[in-house]
Amino acid sequence: MKNLKLKSARAAKDLSQDDLAKLCNVSRQTISAIEKGDYNPTIKLCVSICKALDRTLDELFWE
């Protein structure tokens, strides 16, 4: 399932996939795969993404 909430939150902060990847110490491909629903990130990465985007886990990763 695509993670459109993550993509929307990233766009709202005017960050590219590469920008977010650098903030979270992962590759751009990892962020792309998460957004496409092809990769299930660890809780540690989820928290890192949430901190970078000023969002909660519920807002980005749970329905």
pTM assigned to the model: 0.92
- Binning pLDDT at 50, 70 and 90, where does residue 1 land? confident
* pLDDT reported for residue 62: 85
DSSP of 1-63: ---HHHHHHHHHTT--HHHHHHHHTS-HHHHHHHHHTS----HHHHHHHHHHHT--HHHHH--
The yes/no answer on whether domain 4-57 falls in CATH 3.30.56.10 is no
Reported as a single tens digit per residue, the pLDDT across 12-55 is 999 999 999 999 999 999 999 999 999 999 999 999 999 999 99
What pLDDT is attached to residue 9?
A: 97
Rounded to whole angstroms, the Cα distance separating 34 from 21 reads 11
Residue owning tokens 């993670």:
3
